[in-house]
Structure 1
Amino acid sequence: MEVKGVASDELPQPQEPVADPTIVKTRSRKRSITIFVVVSILNVALLALLWTQLLTPAQNASSEQSSSNAYGDVNSPLIGKPAPDFKLAKLGGGGNVSLSDFKGKPVVLNFWASWCDPCNAEAPFLQKTWETRLQSQGVVLLGIDGQEKTSDAQAFMHKYGISYPNVQDTLDGSTGISYGVAGFPETVFIDRNGVVVAKSIAILDEKVLDQELKKLDLN
């Protein structure tokens, strides 16, 4: 379309509206603030999640440590409850041994493994105490070897001249699991009524043993 005397391409063309610089700047600032807030919230949420995941096991470990005294006594959920029964093969042959075989007698269960350095450290003490004290007090000492080669366990017993009875846990370690064993050595004290009265994660010595035997009420 043409206007008289003026070519259409010479007519003023519509122009793009020019944005107010102040409005553009304000919108840009608001957008930046919104993005910053959202990112900050996401970061805080992520950090909170990571902190929760990291802190949970630490709290559990701290709780277990705080429930332990200087001699390794721990507050096991089994304490005050009947000791889980088991039937395990006796190391060195001779059939099976069950906890129920010792009904009416106080029992000390010592969980160990031949590759465990603390177990090696306490083995001579256990053997000596068995010979000089526990038998005369009517206390049963029973070692429970963890999942390892039977030959390794037997070599351990031979090395320290162990004469008190020992059995070997199942391949899946079900006995240790039922007693909440998390490492070696661990020792569980069961009274003559078959009730768990104490659990120790310390290397047994005179102080630790005296502390726990008192709970068996041997008099």
Structure 2
Amino acid sequence: MNRLLLFIPLVIFALMGLVFWVGLGIEDKTSLPSPLIGKPFPEFELGVVEDGRTLTTKDLQGRPALVNVWATWCPTCKAEHAFLNELAEQGIRIIGINYKDDVMKARDWLKAYGNPYAYNLSDPQGKLGLELGVYGAPETFLIDSEGIIRGKHIGDLNPVVWESLGKQFGEMQ
């Protein structure tokens, strides 16, 4: 009987491990909830990569858009870039936030790979990214015509992701 008592901690540990393992499998690792969903896009006043003019939050309004956080140092951004070009050719309005990057490198990147963006906001210190809760690049936000954040996707945009995100975007138009 005393020997059976020695196995109780082992059984409890095994059951706890099983519960954690099953719990990890249930979690959706492709989306993180954002407290900004349903709220206005954060206020900003930033320069534009392409021409240096200054834009503000009001410039996001008027039409629904994808706001894509990207950087030249981000390999996943390069992987999604061709798909962003395809979306832009279809008339999807895409606004870029060049995150913690050098403006000259960003300009060279856009010349080399094409520019799917209506314009790119330069966020060299990552302040706007911080306000958006950006974990890293790429991340994409859906905003409606009034500048309200309606969705967020972490990782690259591709045809599989666009199947569901595109439906949500289409509902905003």
Residue 84 in 1 paired to residue 31 in 2? no
Quote the offset at 1:146 in angstroms: 1.2
Higher relative contact order (CA 8 A, sep 6+): 2
> How far apart, in 1, do the equivalents of 2:61 and 2:102 lie?
30
Question: Corresponding residue for 1:114?
Answer: 72
> How far apart, in 2, do the equivalents of 1:119 and 1:74 lie?
19
Quote the offset at 1:208 in angstroms: 1.4
Question: Corresponding residue for 1:153?
Answer: 106
> How far apart, in 1, do the equivalents of 2:42 and 2:70 lie?
18
2:122 alignment partner, one of 161, 168, 177: 168
> How far apart, in 1, do the equivalents of 2:32 and 2:47 lie?
28
TM-score w.r.t. structure 1 length? 0.61
Structure 2 residues without counterparts, runs of 5 or longer:
1-22
Residue 210 in 1 paired to residue 163 in 2? yes
Structure 1 residues without counterparts, runs of 5 or longer:
1-61, 135-139
Superposed structure 1 runs of 4+ greater than 4 Å apart: none
> How far apart, in 1, do the equivalents of 2:62 and 2:50 lie?
26
> How far apart, in 1, do the equivalents of 2:111 and 2:85 lie?
12
Q: How does 1:1-219 map to 2 (within 5 A)?
A: 66-68=27-29, 72-134=30-92, 140-164=93-117, 165-169=119-123, 171-216=124-169, 217-219=171-173
Query: Rg bigger for which structure?
Result: 1
What is the percent sequence identity of the aligned residues? 33
> How far apart, in 2, do the equivalents of 1:94 and 1:159 lie?
19
AA at the equivalent of 2:160: K
Quote the offset at 1:151 in angstroms: 1.4
Aligned length: 149
> How far apart, in 1, do the equivalents of 2:66 and 2:88 lie?
11
Q: Closer, same or farther in 2 for the Cα pair 1:118/1:151, shift >3 Å?
A: same
Quote the offset at 1:104 in angstroms: 3.1
Q: Closer, same or farther in 2 for the Cα pair 1:104/1:133, shift >3 Å?
A: closer
Larger strand share, 1 or 2: 2
> How far apart, in 2, do the equivalents of 1:213 and 1:163 lie?
16
